[in-house]
Structure 1
Amino acid sequence: MNQIGTPRFVGRDAELTRVVRALIAPPALVLVEGEAGIGKSRLVREALATLRTYRTHSAAATDLSAAQTAAPSAAQTAAPSAAQTAAPSAAQTAAPSAAQTAAPTTEPLVAVCPPFREPLTLGPIVDAARQRCSEVSGLGLSALAGALRPLFPEWADTLPLAPEPLSDPGAARHRVIRALAELLDRLGVGVLVVEDVHWADEATMDFLLFLVTRPAQRVSLLLTYRAEDLPADSLVPRLSARGHGSVRVTLGGLEPLEVAQLVSSMLDDELVSPAFAELLHSRTEGVPLALEESVRLLHARSDLVRRDGEWIRSTLDEIDVPPSIRDAVTDRVGRLDAGAQQMLLASAVLVDAEFEPVLAHVSGLAPHEVGPALREAVRSGLIAEDEAGRLAFRHVLAARAVYHRAAGPDRRAAHRRAAAVLEDKHPLPVARLAYHYRAANEMTQWCRYAEQVVDLALAAGDHPTALPLLHELLTEGGLPPTDVARVAQKIPLFLITGYLRGADVVSTLRFVLDDERIQQADRGRIRAQLGRILLHVGEHADGVDQLQRAIPDLADSPSEVARAMATLGGPVGSLWPAAEHRRWIDRAAAVAESWLPEAERLALAIDRITSLLDLGDPSGWDLAAGFPAREDTPQDALNLARLSLNTGDGAMQWGHYQDARRRLAIAGDVSRRHHYVRLRDMAAVTNAHLDWFTGAWSGLADRAGHWVRLDDEPIMQLDSRLVLGLLGAATGGDPAAEDVVRSVREDSARRGIADMSMESTGALARIRLAAGDVQEALSLTDDAVQVVMGKEMWLWATETVPVRVAALIAAERVGEAGELAAAFARGFGDREIPSTRAALETCRALIAQAHNDHAEAVAAWDVAVAAWQALPRPYYALLAREQKARSLEKAGEREAALSQWTEVAQGLAALGAKKDADRVATTLKEHGGEKAGRRRAGRRGYGNHLSPRELEVVELLLSGLTNREIAIALSRSPKTVAAQLNSSMRKYGVTTRTALAVIVTQMRFAATADRPQD
Structure 2
Amino acid sequence: MFEQANCEEAVLVDEVTHRSDEEDSYVGSVSAPLLIGRDDELARLGQVLATTSALVLIEGEAGVGKSRLLDEFLSSPAGAAHSALTAVCPPLREPCTLGPIVDAVLATGVDTLADLNLSGLAGALRPLFPEWAEDLPPALEPAEDASASRHRVLRALAELLDRLGVNLLIVDDAQWSDDATREFLLFLADRDGQGPSLVVAYRPEDLVDDPWLLRLSGRLRPHRSRLRLVLDPLDRSGTAALASSMLAGQHVSDEFAHHLHAHTEGVPLAVEECVRLMARRGDLVRRERGWKRLPLDEIVVPPTVRDTVLEHASRLDMRTRSVLRAAAVVADPITERLLLQISGLSPDEFNAGLAEAIAHRLLHQRDGMRVSFRHVLAGRAIYDAIPERERRSLHERAGQVLETVVPRPLAQLANHFRLAGDGERWGRYAELSADVALETGDETTAGALLHDVLTNGNVSAEQMSVLVDKMPFGSFTGPGRLQDLATGVRRVLSQGALDPNVAANLRFQLARILNDMEEFDGAHAELERALPHLDRQRAAPAVAMMVLGWPRGRSPAVRHLTWLDRAAEFSATLEPSDRLRVAAGRAAALLQLGEQRGWVEAEHIPPAAQVGRDRRIVTVAHLNVGDAAMKWGRYPGSGRWLATARRLAEEYEQVRIRDLIDSTQLHLDWFTGAWDRLAERAAALASRDDLHPVSRLEPVMVSGLLLMVAGDLAQAARELELAIDGARKVGAWDTVAEAVATLAQIRLREGRPDEAVEITRDPCDAIEEKGIWIWGTDVVPARTQALVATGAVPDARNLVDRFEQGLRGRQAPAPWTALLDCRGLLAEAGGENGVAADLFAQAAAAWATLPRPYNAALSRERQAMCLIRTGVVSAGLELLTDVLGALSALPASIDVDRVARTLRAHGRAVPRVWRGGRKGYGSDLSPRELEVVALAAEGRTNREIADALHRSHHTVASQMKSAMRKLGVSSRAALSARAVATGMVSEPGTASSN
The alignment's TM-score, normalised by the length of structure 1, stands at 0.79
1:111 aligns with 2:90: no
1:7 aligns with 2:36: no
SS at match of 1:221: strand
Q: Which residue of structure 2 aligns with residue 755 of structure 1?
A: 734
Distance in 2 (alpha carbons) for counterparts of 1:481 and 1:426: 31
The alpha-carbon deviation at position 119 of structure 1 amounts to: 0.7
Distance in 1 (alpha carbons) for counterparts of 2:126 and 2:302: 49
Q: How does 1:55-134 map to 2 (within 5 A)?
A: 85=78, 103=81, 108-132=84-108, 133-134=110-111
- 1:629-660 per-residue CA deviation (whole Å, 9 max, x = no partner) reads 34788766645543443233222222222333
Higher relative contact order (CA 8 A, sep 6+): 2
Q: Which residue of structure 1 aligns with residue 511 of structure 2?
A: 531
1:875 aligns with 2:901: no
SS at match of 1:192: strand
The alpha-carbon deviation at position 317 of structure 1 amounts to: 7.8
Distance in 2 (alpha carbons) for counterparts of 1:931 and 1:540: 56
Would you say the 8 A contact 2:552–2:730 is kept in 1? no
Q: Which residue of structure 2 aligns with residue 614 of structure 1?
A: 592
| Greater Cα shift, 311-320 or 299-308 | 311-320
Q: Which residue of structure 1 aligns with residue 360 of structure 2?
A: 380
Amino acid at match of 2:707: G
The alpha-carbon deviation at position 766 of structure 1 amounts to: 4.1
Distance in 2 (alpha carbons) for counterparts of 1:162 and 1:633: 18
Q: Which residue of structure 2 aligns with residue 34 of structure 1?
A: 60
Q: Which residue of structure 2 aligns with residue 95 of structure 1?
A: none
Amino acid at match of 2:595: D
Distance in 1 (alpha carbons) for counterparts of 2:893 and 2:474: 38
Q: Which residue of structure 2 aligns with residue 512 of structure 1?
A: 492
Distance in 2 (alpha carbons) for counterparts of 1:554 and 1:747: 32
| Residue correspondences, number | 887
Q: Which residue of structure 2 aligns with residue 196 of structure 1?
A: 173
Distance in 1 (alpha carbons) for counterparts of 2:598 and 2:468: 32
Distance in 2 (alpha carbons) for counterparts of 1:166 and 1:788: 39
Would you say the 8 A contact 2:588–2:602 is kept in 1? no
Would you say the 8 A contact 1:9–1:42 is kept in 2? no
Amino acid at match of 2:54: A
The alpha-carbon deviation at position 710 of structure 1 amounts to: 3.0
Distance in 1 (alpha carbons) for counterparts of 2:804 and 2:450: 49
SS at match of 2:122: helix
Instruction: Call closer, same or farther: CA 1:29–1:732 in 2, change over 3 Å.
Output: closer
Distance in 1 (alpha carbons) for counterparts of 2:538 and 2:718: 46
2:198 maps to which of 217, 221, 229 = 221
Q: How does 1:233-252 map to 2 (within 5 A)?
A: 233-240=210-217, 242=220, 244-252=224-232
The alpha-carbon deviation at position 261 of structure 1 amounts to: 7.0
Q: Which residue of structure 1 aligns with residue 811 of structure 2?
A: 832
1:414 aligns with 2:439: no
Q: How does 1:120-519 map to 2 (within 5 A)?
A: 120-132=96-108, 133-166=110-143, 168-240=145-217, 242=220, 244-253=224-233, 269=248, 271=250, 273=252, 280=260, 283-284=263-264, 286-304=266-284, 313=293, 320-367=300-347, 369-519=349-499
Distance in 1 (alpha carbons) for counterparts of 2:152 and 2:615: 14
- 1:908-948 per-residue CA deviation (whole Å, 9 max, x = no partner) reads 4554444444545566677xx335624254779xxxxxxxx
Amino acid at match of 1:7: A
The alpha-carbon deviation at position 890 of structure 1 amounts to: 5.3
| Greater Cα shift, 238-247 or 414-423 | 238-247
Distance in 1 (alpha carbons) for counterparts of 2:769 and 2:35: 79
Distance in 1 (alpha carbons) for counterparts of 2:668 and 2:377: 54
Distance in 2 (alpha carbons) for counterparts of 1:287 and 1:312: 20
Amino acid at match of 2:102: V
Would you say the 8 A contact 2:554–2:731 is kept in 1? no
- 1:446-492 per-residue CA deviation (whole Å, 9 max, x = no partner) reads 33333333333333332333334443333322322222222222333
Distance in 2 (alpha carbons) for counterparts of 1:461 and 1:169: 4
1:656 aligns with 2:682: no
Would you say the 8 A contact 2:342–2:397 is kept in 1? yes
Would you say the 8 A contact 1:902–1:932 is kept in 2? no
The alpha-carbon deviation at position 503 of structure 1 amounts to: 3.2
Amino acid at match of 1:41: S
Instruction: Call closer, same or farther: CA 1:680–1:412 in 2, change over 3 Å.
Output: same
Q: How does 1:673-752 map to 2 (within 5 A)?
A: 675-711=653-689, 713-752=692-731
Distance in 2 (alpha carbons) for counterparts of 1:464 and 1:790: 38
SS at match of 2:876: helix
Q: Which residue of structure 2 aligns with residue 48 of structure 1?
A: 74
Instruction: Call closer, same or farther: CA 1:232–1:833 in 2, change over 3 Å.
Output: same
SS at match of 1:126: helix
Distance in 1 (alpha carbons) for counterparts of 2:798 and 2:263: 84
Would you say the 8 A contact 2:244–2:252 is kept in 1? no
Distance in 2 (alpha carbons) for counterparts of 1:794 and 1:258: 73
Instruction: Call closer, same or farther: CA 1:391–1:887 in 2, change over 3 Å.
Output: closer
Distance in 2 (alpha carbons) for counterparts of 1:814 and 1:43: 75
Distance in 2 (alpha carbons) for counterparts of 1:805 and 1:273: 83
Instruction: Call closer, same or farther: CA 1:871–1:196 in 2, change over 3 Å.
Output: same
| Greater Cα shift, 545-554 or 129-138 | 129-138
1:563 maps to which of 521, 529, 543 = 543
Aligned CA RMSD, in angstroms, stands at 3.6
Would you say the 8 A contact 2:123–2:137 is kept in 1? yes
- 1:207-253 per-residue CA deviation (whole Å, 9 max, x = no partner) reads 11212321123323333222333343253344456262334444445
Would you say the 8 A contact 2:444–2:476 is kept in 1? no
Identity across matched positions, percent: 42
SS at match of 1:194: strand
The alpha-carbon deviation at position 278 of structure 1 amounts to: 6.8
Q: Which residue of structure 1 aligns with residue 970 of structure 2?
A: none
Distance in 2 (alpha carbons) for counterparts of 1:681 and 1:210: 16
Would you say the 8 A contact 2:253–2:291 is kept in 1? no
Would you say the 8 A contact 2:94–2:448 is kept in 1? no
Amino acid at match of 1:187: L
Distance in 2 (alpha carbons) for counterparts of 1:889 and 1:668: 47
The alpha-carbon deviation at position 114 of structure 1 amounts to: 0.2
Distance in 2 (alpha carbons) for counterparts of 1:849 and 1:251: 69
Distance in 1 (alpha carbons) for counterparts of 2:249 and 2:397: 44
Would you say the 8 A contact 1:708–1:717 is kept in 2? yes
The alpha-carbon deviation at position 111 of structure 1 amounts to: 1.7
In the alignment, structure 2 segments of 5+ residues that lack a partner are 1-12, 15-27, 918-949, 952-994
Q: Considering only CA atoms, is the larger Rg found in Structure 1 or Structure 2? A: 1
In the alignment, structure 1 segments of 5+ residues that lack a partner are 55-84, 88-102, 941-970, 973-1014
Amino acid at match of 2:862: Q
SS at match of 2:714: coil
The alpha-carbon deviation at position 835 of structure 1 amounts to: 0.9
The alpha-carbon deviation at position 893 of structure 1 amounts to: 3.4
Distance in 2 (alpha carbons) for counterparts of 1:768 and 1:29: 47
Instruction: Call closer, same or farther: CA 1:591–1:368 in 2, change over 3 Å.
Output: same
Distance in 1 (alpha carbons) for counterparts of 2:862 and 2:843: 10
Distance in 2 (alpha carbons) for counterparts of 1:41 and 1:749: 48
Distance in 2 (alpha carbons) for counterparts of 1:903 and 1:391: 78
- 1:52-108 per-residue CA deviation (whole Å, 9 max, x = no partner) reads xx5xxxxxxxxxxxxxxxxxxxxxxxxxxxxxx589xxxxxxxxxxxxxxx55x5x3
The alpha-carbon deviation at position 834 of structure 1 amounts to: 1.4
